[in-house]
């Protein structure tokens, strides 16, 4: 009977087999697992308190005023049920609060495409974005070490703020972050439910979060994360009392521009007078900041009128949208942004890089002027069926505040021709016509008794939006 035992494998062959296996594993290039650093190990070097400038950088301020038009984005797990963001927690029962704070368990925006958001924003003429990284409810749309109440602990599981910053920066859009100093979650977890949410108690010592930090330590740590982990951040927007956070932000990044917290930022209103400093009017496409089913969306003519009035008075318009819970921009908002994009494609020159003229308006005619130049832009509403004009729409008006020079040219932005003018002691008389065939629209109502009414059918060329008359080498009257 033969011996059934297998011959022993020589030790040399075992050693060679070990070497070959190690080489194969190395070639597979598996990601290296590194121990996670603690928050104390990742804290940044701060500018000494006696060296920090407690104001916005002048160059960043001028850049902010130049860009003129920004996109505001309010988004969070609450979008699943269409509530306003955070405010349902105000005066809420414990039972409702627990339900609200359970919403992240089902938040999974699988159709979120930040690159598409950024392309649409750029098309609409937006040159900066302000994204809500943490609203009053305390939910963090970024992967923070200081809280477990965050996007990376939802079914979605990925850092949305990082994707927003990368996508918008790729489109040449300046990146800004909204951050709420007030925090319902901190109040809920620690039992310190006192004071208004806009007046947070930075002296609160109750420990919070996985790192067991005081309230101020918790928020200062998050500001450091936002300013150091997401590339070049142009802007911070503090929604509430923020002095210790504002100072800390400048110690982390001296040239970060601070909007709310440092400059006027009225909501849903436009100041009545021009201001020769940075300010920003925050408006919604509908009336709620966060996503709302079946919203009452503003018309494009209202959005354009607001934009023109804001820029004529020296401010920026920050236009807000509330994305759907699946990550898509709601169709009414998308349609509005595309309409805005068409108008900005035609007239954006008169919106960006401009400042107020010597007067904001003459009646329905509004003005901006090129910064450090002698070019004036006049925003003019068109009239359909105007007598004495060959085109379907046009305007005839006289300007008192603008005078020409021998080098002056007058034209309509994005249009060849269609502008006649003359000047006398009574002012600058201009007649313009829309000659460009941009959209096919339903004919707007003509003036009663108009001789041209019979010439118009059910449809005509539009759109029925303001045009811009460009006046170069201009000078103020008087």
The number of domains in the chain is 2
The per-residue pLDDT for 194 is 65
Residue range 294-298: mean pLDDT, rounded = 94
Do residues 474 and 408 make contact, with C-beta atoms less than 8 angstroms apart?
yes
Q: Phi and psi (nearest 5°) for 20?
A: -65, -40
Residues 303 and 395 in one domain: no
**pLDDT, tens digit, 9 for 90 and up, residues 332-345:** 999 999 999 999 99
**Is pLDDT above 50 for 33?**
no
pLDDT: which is higher, 475 or 443: 475
The per-residue pLDDT for 40 is 43
Residue 462 backbone zone (phi > 0: left; psi -120 to 50: alpha; other: beta): beta
Residues 122 and 159 in one domain: yes
22 within some domain: no
**Is pLDDT above 90 for 376?**
yes
The per-residue pLDDT for 449 is 74
Do residues 194 and 217 make contact, with C-beta atoms less than 8 angstroms apart?
no
CA distance 293 to 255: 39
Residues 130 and 102 in one domain: yes
Half-sphere exposure of 441 (CA within 13 A, CB side): 14
Count other Cβ atoms within 10 Å, centred on residue 31.
5
Q: Phi and psi (nearest 5°) for 471?
A: -120, 110
56 within some domain: yes
**Is pLDDT above 80 for 380?**
yes
The per-residue pLDDT for 26 is 43
Residues 58 and 111 in one domain: yes
Residues 348 and 224 in one domain: yes
**Is pLDDT above 60 for 463?**
yes
Residue whose token pair is 């020159």: 349
Query: How much is the mean pLDDT over the chain?
Result: 91
Least confident of 159-163, 190-194, 243-247, 458-462: 190-194
Residue range 63-80: mean pLDDT, rounded = 98
336 within some domain: yes
Residues 58 and 118 in one domain: yes
Residues spanned by the domain of 287: 46-353
The per-residue pLDDT for 478 is 82
Least confident of 29-43, 162-176, 418-432: 29-43
CATH of the domain at 229: 3.20.20.80
Residue range 244-252: mean pLDDT, rounded = 98
**Is pLDDT above 90 for 319?**
yes
User: Would you place residue 417 in the very low, low, confident or very high pLDDT band (cuts 50, 70, 90)?
Assistant: confident
14 within some domain: no
Residues 292 and 383 in one domain: no
Least confident of 240-244, 303-307, 373-377, 414-418: 414-418
CA distance 193 to 356: 45
- Any bridge partners for residue 377, and if so which? 368, 470
**Is pLDDT above 50 for 407?**
yes
5 within some domain: no
**Is pLDDT above 60 for 461?**
yes
Domain closes at, from 353, 368, 388: 353
**pLDDT, tens digit, 9 for 90 and up, residues 171-216:** 999 999 999 999 999 999 999 876 678 899 999 999 999 999 999 9
Residues 409 and 346 in one domain: no
The pTM score is 0.90
CA distance 386 to 396: 9
The per-residue pLDDT for 38 is 42
Residues 375 and 341 in one domain: no
Domain closes at, from 298, 329, 353: 353
Domain closes at, from 325, 353, 381: 353
Do residues 471 and 405 make contact, with C-beta atoms less than 8 angstroms apart?
no
Count other Cβ atoms within 10 Å, centred on residue 101.
19
38 within some domain: no
The per-residue pLDDT for 382 is 94
User: Would you place residue 42 in the very low, low, confident or very high pLDDT band (cuts 50, 70, 90)?
Assistant: low
Residues 250 and 365 in one domain: no
Residues 342 and 366 in one domain: no
Nearest Cα neighbor of 135 from 174, 84, 192 is 84
Length of the chain: 478
pLDDT: which is higher, 3 or 163: 163
**pLDDT, tens digit, 9 for 90 and up, residues 111-141:** 999 999 999 999 999 999 999 999 999 999 9
Residues 349 and 362 in one domain: no
Q: How far is CA 263 from the centre of its chain?
A: 16
């Amino acid at each position: 009977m033969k011996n059934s035992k297998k011959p022993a494998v020589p030790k040399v062959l075992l050693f060679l087999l070990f070497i070959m296996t190690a080489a194969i594993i190395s070639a597979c290039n598996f990601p290296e697992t590194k121990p996670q650093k603690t928050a104390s190990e990742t804290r940044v070097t701060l500018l000494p308190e006696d060296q920090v400038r407690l104001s916005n950088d002048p160059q960043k301020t001028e850049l902010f005023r130049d860009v003129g038009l920004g996109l505001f984005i309010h988004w969070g797990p609450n979008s699943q049920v269409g509530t306003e963001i955070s405010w349902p927690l105000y005066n809420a029962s414990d039972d409702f609060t627990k339900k609200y704070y359970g919403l992240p368990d089902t938040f999974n925006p699988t159709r979120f495409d930040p690159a598409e958001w950024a392309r649409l924003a750029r098309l609409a003429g937006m040159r900066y974005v302000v994204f809500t990284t943490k609203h009053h409810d305390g939910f963090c749309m970024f992967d923070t070490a200081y809280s477990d109440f965050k996007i990376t602990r939802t079914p979605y599981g990925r850092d949305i703020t990082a994707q927003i910053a990368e996508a918008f920066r790729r489109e040449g859009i300046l990146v800004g972050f909204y951050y709420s100093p007030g925090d319902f979650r901190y109040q809920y977890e620690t039992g310190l439910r006192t004071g208004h949410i806009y007046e947070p108690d930075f002296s609160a010592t109750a420990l919070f979060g996985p790192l067991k930090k005081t309230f101020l330590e918790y928020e200062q740590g998050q500001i450091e994360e936002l300013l150091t982990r997401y590339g070049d951040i142009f802007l911070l927007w503090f929604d509430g009392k923020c002095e210790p956070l504002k100072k800390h932000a400048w110690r982390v990044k001296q040239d970060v521009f601070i909007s709310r917290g440092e400059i006027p930022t009225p909501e849903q209103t436009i100041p009545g007078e021009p201001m020769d400093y940075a300010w920003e009017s925050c408006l919604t496409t509908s009336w709620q900041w966060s996503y709302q089913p079946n919203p009452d969306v503003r018309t494009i003519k209202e959005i354009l009128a607001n934009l023109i009035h804001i820029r004529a008075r020296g401010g920026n318009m920050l236009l807000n949208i509330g994305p759907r819970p699946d990550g898509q921009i709601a169709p009414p908002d998308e349609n509005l942004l595309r309409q805005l994009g068409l108008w900005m494609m035609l007239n954006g020159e008169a919106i960006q890089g401009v400042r107020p003229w010597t007067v904001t308006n003459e009646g329905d005619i509004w003005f901006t002027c090129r910064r450090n130049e002698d070019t004036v832009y006049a925003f003019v509403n068109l009239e359909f069926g105007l007598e004495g004009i060959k085109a379907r729409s046009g305007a005839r008006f006289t300007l008192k505040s603008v005078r020409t020079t021998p080098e002056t040219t007058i034209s309509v932005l994005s249009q060849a021709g269609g502008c006649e003018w003359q000047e006398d002691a009574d002012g600058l008389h201009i007649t313009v016509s829309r000659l460009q065939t941009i959209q096919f629209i339903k004919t707007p109502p003509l003036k009663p008794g108009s001789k041209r009414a019979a010439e118009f059918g059910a449809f005509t060329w539009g759109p029925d939006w303001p045009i811009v008359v460009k006046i170069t080498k201009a000078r103020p009257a008087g």
